[in-house]
Amino acid sequence: RRKCIRTLQHGAGMVVMDACFSPDGRRMAAGMFDGSLRVWDLDVDHSGVVQMTHSTGAVKTAIFSPDRQSIVTGTSGGAVQSR
């Protein structure tokens, strides 16, 4: 049985398209329908510590690099970025 350990607020009406944990489990990134990428520091529970926005559509995928220094995103508009 799965248990919810924390709910992170991301704003009313926001749609999460994809979410991933950093390799060390300390951060979580969520790609949003509005083109933004939000990153939470799970140790301190700050909502949307980092927020970045794509201009080419919804963020459909997000993944941390193995060294945790960047996040690669892909959008519905076909753009791929490393942040």
Mean pLDDT (10-residue bins), the chain, 83 residues? 69 80 90 87 67 80 91 90 84
Reported pTM: 0.77
Model confidence pLDDT, tens digit, residues 7-28: 766 666 678 899 999 999 888 8
Q: Please state, in angstroms and rounded to a whole number, the distance separating the CA atoms of residues 41 and 39.
A: 7
Place of tokens 């941390």: 64
- How far, in Å, are 36, 56, 83 from residue 42 at the CA level? 19, 28, 19
- Give the tokens for residue 12: 């009313």
Do the beta carbons of residue 25 and residue 43 sit within 8 Å?
A: no
Give the pLDDT confidence score for residue 18 in this predicted structure. 92
Q: Please state, in angstroms and rounded to a whole number, the distance separating the CA atoms of residues 2 and 35.
A: 30
